[in-house]
Structure 1
Amino acid sequence: MTGTVVVLGIFAADLAFTAPRLPRLGETLAARGFALGPGGKGSNQAVAAARSGARVRLVSRIGEDAFGAMARDLWSAEGIDIAHVRAGGAPTGAAFIFLEAGTGQNAIIVESGAAGLLSAADIEAAEAAFRGADIFLTQLEQPVEAAIRGLEMARRHGLRTILNPAPAGPVPDAAWCLCDVVTPNESEAAALTGIPVTDAASARAAGEALLARGVGCAVVTLGAEGVLVCEAGAATMIPAVRAGPVVDTTGAGDAFAGAFAAALAEGRPTLEAARFGCAVAGLAVTRPGAALSVPRRDEVAGFLA
C-alpha cells in the first residue's frame, strides 16, 4: 500500500565545508573538503518520503537560476510532483553548512530565497495538491503564516498533519491544535517549551508540554539516542539505528521526518513509523550529503532484514 504525502517547504543549495572548527570573526580557515548539493528541509523531506515509497506532492518556490535548475533536476529524478512549485521573485535559497572534521556534526546557516516569499495565498492556489492525499508535512524555513495555512488546508481535506518545527521560532498558540504530530529535536523542543532537553526524561517533559498545547503526538528526536514518542498517557523510546560509522549528520532529521511521514501515509502505526524513520536516518548518516544520502526503500528493507 502506498500513500500520498504533501510537503510544504524550501529548496536550498547546500554549500558544505569540512574543517576542524568554525572560524572566529575576522579569521580565515583552510577547509578540508567542500561539496555542493541539494538541500533545504522541505526538499530533503520530500526526497526522503519519495525514496521511502510515498507519492509526493511538493509546494514551494524557487528562483529562475542555476540552483533552481538543480532543484528541478532532483525532483524529476525522484518522481516528485512539482505542479505546485512556483518560480521567480527572488533567487533560489542556499545554505552554508559547517561539518566538524572527525565527527560529522554540523552547524548551518540557511537563506530561504524565493521560498521565503511563500504566503497563505500560495497555499490557497495549491489546494489541488491536498485533494486525495494522506499526510501533510511542513517545517518553519518558509514563513510561519504559510505553514499555518497549510495545516489548515490539510485539516480541511482530512489529511493527518505533521509539523517539523525547524528552525525553532515563534508559533501562534492557535496553531498547535492543528498538529497531529510535531517532530522537534532536542534544541527545538527546548526552545519551544523552555524545558532543557538532555535525556529521555526531559524529552518526555517537553513532549508533554506540547501535548498540553493541543498537539496530538510529540516525537522528540534525540540524535544518536533515538526518538521519544510521546502520546497521551504514554512515552516510548525508539532507539537509534546504528548502520556504520557516522560521516555526516546534516540530513538525519529530514531523513527521519520524510520516512516517518511516508510510513504513516501507508497506514503504519505511529511507533512502527518511528522505527522505520530511525532506520532511514541511521543509514543516511553513514554517507555524505543531505537529500542524496537518504537510502531507498529496498535498501532499508534489506538492512532491516
Structure 2
Amino acid sequence: MTATGPLPSVASVLDAIAASRVLVTMWRPVVDIQLHVAAIPSLGEKVLSQSVQITPGGVDGNYAASMGSIGANVTVVGSDSNDGIGKADPENLREHGVTVRLDTASAGPATVCYVLIDRNGERSVIVAYPKDGSRVAEGVARGVRQVAADAWDLCYLGVLRAAHQEVISLLPPAAIVVATVEVSDWQGSWLEQSAHALNIVFCAEETFAAHAATLQGLQKRHRWTLVVTSGAKGSRIIDEDGVITDVAASHLDGPVVDTTGAGDAFASAFSAAYLLGLRGGGLLRVANWYAAKKIQVLGPRNFPLAIKFAQVIVEETQSKVRKP
C-alpha cells in the first residue's frame, strides 16, 4: 500500500488487517470501577457516588480489544486472575475476537482501578496493583515462551516495566515491538537497557515533558518511532530518521461520551496503520480519527466498525498519492 503500488480497496485493507498477527502481553486482568460523583473529593472529604459502573480496563487489554475490533488476529498472553471480578476482562476480550491464553499457575488478584469521575468529566484514579509481581512476570514469560516460535507481525508490551526484561529476550526478532511509557510508572535505567529492542514507543504529553531528554536521546540512538499524544491538542511523531510531524486532533462531529481507553484506541489504530504501510502524518491522522470516534461511543471498549477504519486507510492512502 505505497504510492508506487496499487491503490488499496476497503476489501484489500480488511484482508491485510485480518492477516496481521499481533501478540499482546497482559500482566493480570484489569477491572475499572467507575464512581460518578458531583465533584472529586478533597483530602478527608466524604462524597456520595451517583452511580457505579464496573468495566474491563487496562492499557494492554484495551489495546488488544481495539485491535480485535479493527479486525487483526490478536492473541493475549499473561497471568490469570483467581478472583471473580477479574473474569470480566478476558471474557470481554474474547467478545472482541481476541484469543486469550492466560497462565493459571501464576494466577492471583486482578488489578482494580477505582476511577472517580465528576460532572465535568474530570477524573481521579486510584490503582490497586497485585502484590505478587514476580509471579505475574513468571506467568507472562511462560505465556510468551509458548508462542514465541510462531510468526508475529507486531508485539505490544503495554506499559513498559522492568519485569519485561525476560519477555523482550523471548520475542521473535522479525516482529515490530511496541510499548507505552508512563510518567507514573517510569522505568529509568531499565528503559535504557531495553531500548534497543523497541520499534514504536507511545507516551503522553506529561511523560514526554518530564523525560524529554531521555526519550529523545533514546529515540535518536535506537531509531524509534516516538509518538507523543496530547489529547485534544493533537499528537506528534518523531520517526526513525528524526523527522518531526505534528497533527491536530480530529474534529469531533458529536458529543464526548466516554474518554476511557481513548489513548489505547489511538495506539492500536496507529499500530494497525503502521502494519498497513502508512508513515508520518498519515499515521497520526488515522489514529486521531479513530480516537475521536471512540470517545463518542458509549463504553470503554466500544469502537468504530472495522469497515470504517478501512475506509479511512483507503482515503488517507489515496490522498497521499494524489498530492503533487
Letter of the 1:182 counterpart: V
Letter of the 1:264 counterpart: Y
* Fraction of identical pairs, as percent: 23
Alpha carbons 1:60, 1:86 under 8 Å: kept: no
Determine whether 1:65 maps to 2:83. Answer: yes
Q: How does 1:165-176 map to 2 (within 5 A)?
A: 165-166=181-182, 167-171=184-188, 172=190, 173-176=192-195
Looking at structure 2, the residues matched to 149 and 267 of structure 1 have their Cα atoms a distance apart, in angstroms, of 30
Aligned-partner SS, 2:187: coil
1:145-203 per-position Cα deviation (integer Å, ceiling 9, x unaligned): 3323333333x431111111134312411112221111100112223336xxxxxxxxx
Looking at structure 1, the residues matched to 142 and 283 of structure 2 have their Cα atoms a distance apart, in angstroms, of 30
Alpha carbons 1:251, 1:293 under 8 Å: kept: no
Q: How does 1:146-185 map to 2 (within 5 A)?
A: 146-154=163-171, 156-166=172-182, 167-171=184-188, 172=190, 173-185=192-204
Gaps of 5+ in 1: 195-205
Gaps of 5+ in 2: 1-15, 316-324
| Aligned-pair CA distance for 1:212 | 3.4
Alpha carbons 2:140, 2:167 under 8 Å: kept: no
2:212 to 173, 189, 193: 193
| Aligned-pair CA distance for 1:250 | 2.2
In structure 2, the partner of 1:251 is 261
Q: How does 1:14-163 map to 2 (within 5 A)?
A: 14-86=32-104, 89-102=107-120, 104-113=121-130, 116=133, 117-119=135-137, 122-130=140-148, 131-140=150-159, 144-154=161-171, 156-163=172-179
Number of equivalent positions? 289
Alpha carbons 2:201, 2:225 under 8 Å: kept: yes
Alpha carbons 1:226, 1:278 under 8 Å: kept: yes
Question: Measured at CA, do residues 138 and 146 of structure 1 come closer, stay the same or move farther in structure 2, by a change above 3 Å?
Answer: same
Looking at structure 1, the residues matched to 216 and 303 of structure 2 have their Cα atoms a distance apart, in angstroms, of 30
Question: Measured at CA, do residues 35 and 213 of structure 1 come closer, stay the same or move farther in structure 2, by a change above 3 Å?
Answer: farther
Looking at structure 2, the residues matched to 127 and 280 of structure 1 have their Cα atoms a distance apart, in angstroms, of 33
Aligned-partner SS, 1:132: coil
In structure 2, the partner of 1:230 is 238
Q: Structure 2 length normalisation: TM-score?
A: 0.79
| Aligned-pair CA distance for 1:44 | 0.6
Alpha carbons 1:105, 1:248 under 8 Å: kept: no
| Aligned-pair CA distance for 1:88 | 5.1
Aligned-partner SS, 2:44: coil
Alpha carbons 1:13, 1:94 under 8 Å: kept: yes
